[in-house]
Structure 1
Amino acid sequence: MLSLRALAVAAFALTLAWLPTGVQAQSLTQALASAYTNNPELASAFLSVKSAAEDIALRQAGTRPTIGASLSGDYQWSTAGGQFNDSSSYTAGISYNQTIFDNFRTDAEIEQARALAELSKYSMRNTEQNVLLSVVDAYMSVVRDSQLVQLRQENVSFYEAQLQSSRDRLEVGEGTRIDVAQAEARLAQGVASHRAAIASLQTSQATYQRYVGTRPQSLSASHSYTGLVPPALDDALAQAEVQHPAILSAKASIRAAQAGSDAAQAGFGPSITLNGSVGTGLAFSSNPTALQGAQGVSGQVGISLTVPIYAGGAIGASVRKANIEQIRSEVSAMSAYDQVREAVITSWSGIQNASAQIESAQAAVAAQEQVVEGVIQERDLGASTTLDVLDAQAELTTQREGLIQATTNRVVATFSLLAATGRLSATELGLPVEIKSADDYTATVQDVWQELRTVD
Structure 2
Amino acid sequence: DNHAVRQAQIASEIARREIDRQRFARHPTVDVVGSVGHARNSSVNFVGVRSNSATVGLQLAIPIYTGGGIDARAREAAALHSQSLADLETARRAAEQAARQAFLGLNSGLGQVRALEAAERSSQLALDSNLLGYQVGVRINIDVLNAQQQLFSTRRDLARARYDVLVNGLQLKATAGTLDEEDLRKVDALLVPAASVPAEPEGSSARPSGERGPRSKRRR
TM, length-normalised to structure 1: 0.35
Selected match of 1:255 from 13, 27, 30: 13
* Matching residue of 2:179: 424
Q: How many residues align?
A: 186
Distance in 2 between the 1:411 and 1:274 partners? 61
Counterpart residue identity of residue 19, structure 2: S
Unaligned runs of 5+ in 1: 1-242, 432-456
How do 1:200-239 and structure 2 match up within 5 A? none
* Matching residue of 2:26: 268
Asked if 1:331 is matched to 2:86, the reply is yes
Asked if 1:347 is matched to 2:102, the reply is yes
* Matching residue of 1:390: 145
Would the alpha carbon gap of residues 287 and 340 (structure 1) be closer, same or farther in structure 2, given more than 3 Å must change?
same
Counterpart residue identity of residue 113, structure 2: I
Secondary structure of the structure 2 residue equivalent to 1:410:
helix
Write out per-residue CA displacement over residues 120-156 of structure 1, whole angstroms, 9 at most, x where no aligned residue. Answer: xxxxxxxxxxxxxxxxxxxxxxxxxxxxxxxxxxxxx
Distance in 2 between the 1:322 and 1:382 partners? 86
Distance in 1 between the 2:137 and 2:68 partners? 96
Distance in 1 between the 2:119 and 2:50 partners? 104
How do 1:115-126 and structure 2 match up within 5 A? none
Would the alpha carbon gap of residues 315 and 389 (structure 1) be closer, same or farther in structure 2, given more than 3 Å must change?
same
Question: Shift in Å at residue 416 of structure 1?
Answer: 2.8
Would the alpha carbon gap of residues 266 and 428 (structure 1) be closer, same or farther in structure 2, given more than 3 Å must change?
farther
Would the alpha carbon gap of residues 416 and 365 (structure 1) be closer, same or farther in structure 2, given more than 3 Å must change?
same
Selected match of 2:39 from 281, 291, 309: 281
Distance in 1 between the 2:13 and 2:2 partners? 17
Distance in 2 between the 1:312 and 1:342 partners? 47
Write out per-residue CA displacement over residues 365-417 of structure 1, whole angstroms, 9 at most, x where no aligned residue. Answer: 12222323344555677766544433332222111111222223223333333
Distance in 2 between the 1:337 and 1:399 partners? 39
Write out per-residue CA displacement over residues 316-343 of structure 1, whole angstroms, 9 at most, x where no aligned residue. Answer: 4432332222112211111221122122
Counterpart residue identity of residue 100, structure 2: I
Counterpart residue identity of residue 109, structure 2: A
* Matching residue of 1:217: none
Would the alpha carbon gap of residues 345 and 278 (structure 1) be closer, same or farther in structure 2, given more than 3 Å must change?
closer
Would the alpha carbon gap of residues 313 and 389 (structure 1) be closer, same or farther in structure 2, given more than 3 Å must change?
farther
Secondary structure of the structure 2 residue equivalent to 1:294:
strand
- Kindly report the root-mean-square deviation, in angstroms, between the aligned alpha carbons of the 2 structures: 3.4
Secondary structure of the structure 1 residue equivalent to 2:49:
strand
* Matching residue of 2:206: none
Identity %, equivalent residues = 26
* Matching residue of 1:409: 164
Distance in 2 between the 1:315 and 1:331 partners? 25
Unaligned runs of 5+ in 2: 187-220
Counterpart residue identity of residue 81, structure 2: Q
Distance in 2 between the 1:278 and 1:406 partners? 75
Would the alpha carbon gap of residues 301 and 408 (structure 1) be closer, same or farther in structure 2, given more than 3 Å must change?
closer
Secondary structure of the structure 2 residue equivalent to 1:368:
helix
Distance in 2 between the 1:376 and 1:339 partners? 53
Counterpart residue identity of residue 294, structure 1: V
Secondary structure of the structure 1 residue equivalent to 2:170:
helix
Distance in 1 between the 2:183 and 2:142 partners? 54
Selected match of 2:111 from 351, 356, 371: 356
How do 1:162-181 and structure 2 match up within 5 A? none
Question: Shift in Å at residue 298 of structure 1?
Answer: 4.5
Counterpart residue identity of residue 42, structure 2: F
Question: Shift in Å at residue 361 of structure 1?
Answer: 0.7
Write out per-residue CA displacement over residues 418-444 of structure 1, whole angstroms, 9 at most, x where no aligned residue. Answer: 32322223589999xxxxxxxxxxxxx
Distance in 1 between the 2:185 and 2:136 partners? 60
Question: Shift in Å at residue 300 of structure 1?
Answer: 4.1
TM, length-normalised to structure 2: 0.67
Secondary structure of the structure 1 residue equivalent to 2:177:
coil
